Protein backbone atom coordinates (compact mmCIF):
# COMPACT_ATOMS: atom_id res chain seq x y z
CA UNK A 1 0.00 0.00 0.00
CA UNK A 2 1.58 3.38 -1.02
CA UNK A 3 2.36 5.97 1.63
CA UNK A 4 2.20 3.57 4.59
CA UNK A 5 5.08 2.16 6.64
CA UNK A 6 4.18 -1.06 8.44
CA UNK A 7 6.48 -1.90 11.34
CA UNK A 8 4.85 -3.99 14.05
CA UNK A 9 1.74 -2.20 15.23
CA UNK A 10 2.77 1.22 13.91
CA UNK A 11 1.46 2.43 10.59
CA UNK A 12 2.67 5.90 9.68
CA UNK A 13 1.05 7.93 6.92
CA UNK A 14 1.98 11.36 5.55
CA UNK A 15 -0.74 13.36 3.77
CA UNK A 16 -0.38 16.79 2.20
CA UNK A 17 -2.53 19.82 1.57
CA UNK A 18 -2.14 21.77 -1.65
CA UNK A 19 -0.36 24.83 -0.20
CA UNK A 20 3.17 23.47 -0.57
CA UNK A 21 3.20 19.75 -1.47
CA UNK A 22 6.99 19.75 -1.84
CA UNK A 23 7.40 20.03 1.94
CA UNK A 24 5.34 16.89 2.59
CA UNK A 25 7.21 15.07 -0.17
CA UNK A 26 10.55 15.99 1.38
CA UNK A 27 9.34 14.85 4.81
CA UNK A 28 8.06 11.56 3.34
CA UNK A 29 11.41 10.93 1.64
CA UNK A 30 13.22 11.47 4.97
CA UNK A 31 10.88 8.89 6.49
CA UNK A 32 11.39 6.42 3.63
CA UNK A 33 7.78 6.57 2.50
CA UNK A 34 5.54 8.43 0.03
CA UNK A 35 2.79 10.99 0.48
CA UNK A 36 -0.57 9.19 0.46
CA UNK A 37 -2.48 9.77 -2.75
CA UNK A 38 -5.45 12.11 -2.40
CA UNK A 39 -7.87 14.09 -4.53
CA UNK A 40 -8.52 17.74 -3.76
CA UNK A 41 -10.26 20.50 -5.67
CA UNK A 42 -12.38 23.61 -5.21
CA UNK A 43 -15.98 24.05 -6.28
CA UNK A 44 -16.74 27.20 -8.23
CA UNK A 45 -18.17 28.87 -5.12
CA UNK A 46 -14.86 28.34 -3.31
CA UNK A 47 -15.74 25.27 -1.23
CA UNK A 48 -12.97 22.68 -0.89
CA UNK A 49 -13.31 18.95 -1.54
CA UNK A 50 -10.78 16.36 -0.31
CA UNK A 51 -10.74 12.57 -0.47
CA UNK A 52 -7.94 10.13 0.38
CA UNK A 53 -7.48 7.48 -2.28
CA UNK A 54 -6.42 4.67 0.07
CA UNK A 55 -7.57 3.34 3.44
CA UNK A 56 -6.26 5.10 6.54
CA UNK A 57 -8.04 2.86 9.04
CA UNK A 58 -5.91 2.44 12.18
CA UNK A 59 -3.10 4.65 10.81
CA UNK A 60 -0.95 7.26 12.56
CA UNK A 61 -1.48 10.15 10.15
CA UNK A 62 0.54 13.38 9.80
CA UNK A 63 -1.35 16.13 7.95
CA UNK A 64 1.19 18.55 6.48
CA UNK A 65 0.07 22.01 5.36
CA UNK A 66 1.75 25.41 4.93
CA UNK A 67 -0.01 28.67 5.80
CA UNK A 68 2.05 31.37 4.11
CA UNK A 69 -0.36 32.92 1.63
CA UNK A 70 -4.13 32.24 1.18
CA UNK A 71 -4.12 31.24 4.83
CA UNK A 72 -7.89 30.88 5.10
CA UNK A 73 -8.11 28.48 2.14
CA UNK A 74 -5.25 26.33 3.39
CA UNK A 75 -6.48 26.29 6.97
CA UNK A 76 -9.94 25.21 5.82
CA UNK A 77 -8.44 22.54 3.56
CA UNK A 78 -6.40 21.16 6.45
CA UNK A 79 -9.48 21.07 8.71
CA UNK A 80 -11.42 19.21 6.03
CA UNK A 81 -8.54 16.73 5.65
CA UNK A 82 -8.54 16.09 9.40
CA UNK A 83 -12.31 15.59 9.37
CA UNK A 84 -12.05 13.10 6.48
CA UNK A 85 -9.33 11.16 8.32
CA UNK A 86 -11.35 11.06 11.54
CA UNK A 87 -14.37 9.73 9.69
CA UNK A 88 -12.16 7.16 7.94
CA UNK A 89 -11.05 5.74 11.34
CA UNK A 90 -7.46 6.97 11.44
CA UNK A 91 -5.99 5.97 14.81
CA UNK A 92 -4.12 9.19 15.55
CA UNK A 93 -4.13 12.47 13.60
CA UNK A 94 -1.28 14.98 13.93
CA UNK A 95 -1.65 18.40 12.34
CA UNK A 96 1.72 19.58 11.02
CA UNK A 97 1.47 23.37 10.68
CA UNK A 98 5.02 24.77 10.69
CA UNK A 99 3.69 28.35 10.55
CA UNK A 100 0.72 28.30 12.94
CA UNK A 101 -2.18 30.19 11.29
CA UNK A 102 -3.29 33.42 12.98
CA UNK A 103 -0.46 33.14 15.51
CA UNK A 104 -0.16 36.95 15.75
CA UNK A 105 -3.70 37.19 17.10
CA UNK A 106 -2.89 35.50 20.39
CA UNK A 107 -4.34 38.09 22.77
CA UNK A 108 -6.82 40.95 22.97
CA UNK A 109 -5.24 44.38 22.71
CA UNK A 110 -8.62 46.13 22.78
CA UNK A 111 -12.15 45.28 23.80
CA UNK A 112 -14.30 43.42 21.26
CA UNK A 113 -11.31 41.84 19.50
CA UNK A 114 -11.08 38.06 18.88
CA UNK A 115 -8.30 35.73 20.01
CA UNK A 116 -8.06 34.09 16.62
CA UNK A 117 -5.08 31.88 17.46
CA UNK A 118 -7.21 30.23 20.15
CA UNK A 119 -10.08 29.82 17.69
CA UNK A 120 -7.73 28.03 15.27
CA UNK A 121 -6.71 25.59 18.04
CA UNK A 122 -10.38 24.92 18.80
CA UNK A 123 -11.07 24.34 15.10
CA UNK A 124 -8.25 21.78 14.86
CA UNK A 125 -9.57 20.01 17.97
CA UNK A 126 -13.15 19.98 16.74
CA UNK A 127 -12.09 18.66 13.35
CA UNK A 128 -10.42 15.70 15.07
CA UNK A 129 -6.72 16.53 15.56
CA UNK A 130 -5.07 14.61 18.41
CA UNK A 131 -1.79 16.50 18.29
CA UNK A 132 -0.24 19.62 16.73
CA UNK A 133 3.30 20.12 15.50
CA UNK A 134 4.54 23.68 14.84
CA UNK A 135 7.81 25.56 14.38
CA UNK A 136 8.80 28.78 16.21
CA UNK A 137 5.37 29.86 17.41
CA UNK A 138 4.79 33.61 17.59
CA UNK A 139 4.43 33.19 21.35
CA UNK A 140 4.91 30.07 23.44
CA UNK A 141 1.57 30.41 25.22
CA UNK A 142 -0.17 29.28 22.02
CA UNK A 143 0.89 25.77 23.14
CA UNK A 144 -1.76 26.03 25.85
CA UNK A 145 -4.54 27.00 23.42
CA UNK A 146 -4.76 23.44 22.08
CA UNK A 147 -6.35 20.91 24.42
CA UNK A 148 -3.85 18.14 23.73
CA UNK A 149 -0.13 17.72 23.02
CA UNK A 150 1.57 20.36 20.90
CA UNK A 151 5.13 19.77 19.72
CA UNK A 152 6.83 23.16 19.51
CA UNK A 153 9.89 22.70 17.32
CA UNK A 154 12.64 25.31 17.04
CA UNK A 155 14.40 26.45 13.88
CA UNK A 156 16.43 29.05 15.79
CA UNK A 157 19.42 26.73 16.51
CA UNK A 158 19.76 26.06 12.77
CA UNK A 159 19.62 29.78 11.96
CA UNK A 160 22.06 30.59 14.76
CA UNK A 161 24.59 28.03 13.48
CA UNK A 162 24.48 29.69 10.08
CA UNK A 163 24.92 33.16 11.59
CA UNK A 164 27.95 31.93 13.57
CA UNK A 165 29.58 30.72 10.37
CA UNK A 166 28.69 33.96 8.60
CA UNK A 167 29.99 36.68 10.96
CA UNK A 168 33.70 37.51 10.88
CA UNK A 169 34.03 38.70 14.47
CA UNK A 170 31.59 37.03 16.92
CA UNK A 171 32.68 39.46 19.68
CA UNK A 172 31.20 42.29 17.64
CA UNK A 173 27.68 40.83 17.28
CA UNK A 174 24.57 42.30 18.91
CA UNK A 175 21.21 40.50 18.74
CA UNK A 176 18.38 42.93 18.01
CA UNK A 177 14.67 42.38 18.54
CA UNK A 178 12.50 44.46 16.15
CA UNK A 179 9.92 45.00 18.89
CA UNK A 180 9.49 44.51 22.62
CA UNK A 181 7.45 41.33 22.11
CA UNK A 182 10.46 39.40 20.85
CA UNK A 183 12.97 40.25 23.58
CA UNK A 184 12.61 36.81 25.24
CA UNK A 185 13.41 35.09 21.96
CA UNK A 186 16.30 37.50 21.42
CA UNK A 187 17.70 36.35 24.78
CA UNK A 188 17.60 32.77 23.54
CA UNK A 189 19.42 33.87 20.39
CA UNK A 190 22.01 35.74 22.45
CA UNK A 191 22.76 32.56 24.43
CA UNK A 192 23.15 30.54 21.24
CA UNK A 193 25.54 33.18 19.91
CA UNK A 194 27.80 32.85 22.96
CA UNK A 195 26.32 35.57 25.18
CA UNK A 196 26.01 38.39 22.62
CA UNK A 197 24.55 41.66 23.96
CA UNK A 198 20.95 42.61 23.22
CA UNK A 199 19.18 45.64 21.80
CA UNK A 200 15.57 46.25 20.80
CA UNK A 201 13.58 48.66 18.68
CA UNK A 202 10.43 50.27 19.97
CA UNK A 203 7.69 49.77 17.38
CA UNK A 204 4.16 51.18 17.25
CA UNK A 205 1.21 50.29 15.06
CA UNK A 206 -2.03 51.97 14.07
CA UNK A 207 -4.47 49.20 14.98
CA UNK A 208 -6.76 50.26 12.14
CA UNK A 209 -4.10 49.83 9.46
CA UNK A 210 -2.76 46.27 8.87
CA UNK A 211 0.88 45.61 7.95
CA UNK A 212 2.08 49.12 8.75
CA UNK A 213 4.45 49.38 11.66
CA UNK A 214 6.45 52.44 12.67
CA UNK A 215 9.84 51.63 14.22
CA UNK A 216 10.87 54.48 16.48
CA UNK A 217 13.62 54.39 19.08
CA UNK A 218 16.43 51.97 19.82
CA UNK A 219 17.35 50.66 23.26
CA UNK A 220 20.91 49.28 23.43
CA UNK A 221 24.38 49.91 21.97
CA UNK A 222 24.86 49.00 18.33
CA UNK A 223 27.22 51.62 16.86
CA UNK A 224 29.91 49.96 14.73
CA UNK A 225 28.51 46.51 15.51
CA UNK A 226 27.19 43.62 13.39
CA UNK A 227 23.49 43.38 14.23
CA UNK A 228 21.54 40.13 13.92
CA UNK A 229 17.96 41.32 13.62
CA UNK A 230 15.60 38.45 14.48
CA UNK A 231 11.89 37.83 14.05
CA UNK A 232 9.50 34.90 13.92
CA UNK A 233 7.94 36.01 10.62
CA UNK A 234 8.40 38.52 7.84
CA UNK A 235 5.00 39.27 6.35
CA UNK A 236 4.87 42.54 4.38
CA UNK A 237 8.35 43.41 5.65
CA UNK A 238 7.42 46.74 7.30
CA UNK A 239 8.57 45.76 10.79
CA UNK A 240 11.93 44.41 9.77
CA UNK A 241 12.73 47.10 7.15
CA UNK A 242 11.77 49.81 9.67
CA UNK A 243 14.07 48.26 12.28
CA UNK A 244 16.96 48.09 9.78
CA UNK A 245 16.51 51.80 9.09
CA UNK A 246 16.73 52.61 12.78
CA UNK A 247 19.86 50.45 13.18
CA UNK A 248 21.56 52.03 10.18
CA UNK A 249 20.72 55.53 11.42
CA UNK A 250 22.28 54.66 14.77
CA UNK A 251 25.52 53.53 13.10
CA UNK A 252 25.29 49.73 12.83
CA UNK A 253 28.20 48.30 10.82
CA UNK A 254 25.95 45.74 9.13
CA UNK A 255 22.53 44.18 9.66
CA UNK A 256 21.76 40.52 9.02
CA UNK A 257 18.09 39.61 9.19
CA UNK A 258 17.11 36.14 10.46
CA UNK A 259 13.48 34.98 10.54
CA UNK A 260 11.79 31.58 10.59
CA UNK A 261 8.64 32.18 8.53
CA UNK A 262 9.19 34.12 5.27
CA UNK A 263 5.66 35.02 4.15
CA UNK A 264 6.89 37.87 1.91
CA UNK A 265 3.45 39.24 1.03
CA UNK A 266 2.75 42.47 -0.91
CA UNK A 267 5.70 44.87 -0.89
CA UNK A 268 7.99 42.63 1.23
CA UNK A 269 10.60 41.84 -1.43
CA UNK A 270 10.87 45.49 -2.49
CA UNK A 271 11.17 46.63 1.13
CA UNK A 272 13.79 44.03 1.99
CA UNK A 273 15.90 44.68 -1.11
CA UNK A 274 15.94 48.41 -0.44
CA UNK A 275 16.33 48.46 3.35
CA UNK A 276 20.13 48.20 3.52
CA UNK A 277 20.40 44.78 5.23
CA UNK A 278 23.35 42.73 4.01
CA UNK A 279 21.45 39.44 4.07
CA UNK A 280 18.05 37.94 4.82
CA UNK A 281 18.28 34.45 6.34
C1 LIG B 1 4.83 40.95 15.06
O2 LIG B 1 4.61 40.90 16.25
C3 LIG B 1 5.52 39.85 14.32
O4 LIG B 1 6.47 39.20 15.09
C5 LIG B 1 6.17 40.39 13.05
O6 LIG B 1 7.16 41.33 13.41
C7 LIG B 1 5.20 41.06 12.15
O8 LIG B 1 3.97 40.43 12.15
C9 LIG B 1 5.74 41.08 10.74
O10 LIG B 1 4.81 41.70 9.90
P11 LIG B 1 5.29 42.72 8.76
O12 LIG B 1 6.43 42.03 8.06
O13 LIG B 1 4.08 42.88 7.90
O14 LIG B 1 5.70 43.97 9.44
DSSP state letter for 37: P
3-class SS of residue 36? coil
pLDDT value of residue 9: 60
145 contacts 121 by C-beta, under 8 angstroms: yes
C-beta 50 within 6 A of ligand 1: no
| 203 counts as catalytic | yes
Residue 231 CA to ligand 1 centre (angstroms): 8
pLDDT value of residue 205: 73
Ligand 1 atom at minimum distance from 235 CA = 12
| Sites in the chain below the pLDDT cut of 50 | 1
pLDDT value of residue 103: 98
139 contacts 106 by C-beta, under 8 angstroms: yes
pLDDT value of residue 213: 72
Residue 239 CA to ligand 1 centre (angstroms): 6
pLDDT value of residue 207: 73
pLDDT value of residue 80: 99
Residue 38 CA to ligand 1 centre (angstroms): 34
Provide CB contacts within 8 A for 271, sequence distance 6+.
236, 237, 238, 240, 241
Ligand 1 pocket test, candidate residues 239, 246, 260, most atoms within 8 A of CB: 239
pLDDT value of residue 206: 74
Exactly one of 91, 203, 216, 248 is catalytic; name it: 203
Sign of CA dihedral 121, 124, 126, 130: negative
pLDDT value of residue 214: 78
Question: Residues 68, 245, 226, 182: what is their CA dihedral angle, to the nearest 10 degrees?
Answer: -50
pLDDT value of residue 203: 81
C-beta 276 within 6 A of ligand 1: no
Ligand 1 pocket test, candidate residues 233, 264, 268, 275, most atoms within 8 A of CB: 233
Smallest CA separation from ligand 1 atom 6, residue: 239
For strand 150-153 and strand 131-135, is the pairing parallel, antiparallel, or unpaired?
A: parallel
pTM of this prediction? 0.93
Amino acid sequence: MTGIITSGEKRLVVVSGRAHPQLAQDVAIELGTQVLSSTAYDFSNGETYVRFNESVRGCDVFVVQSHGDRVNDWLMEQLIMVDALKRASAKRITVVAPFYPYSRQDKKHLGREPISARLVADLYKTAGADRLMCVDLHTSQIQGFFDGPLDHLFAIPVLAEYIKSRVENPENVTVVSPDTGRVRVAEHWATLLGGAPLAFVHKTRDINVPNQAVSKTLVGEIEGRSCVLIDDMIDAGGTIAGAVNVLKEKGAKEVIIAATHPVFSGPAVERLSGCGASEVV
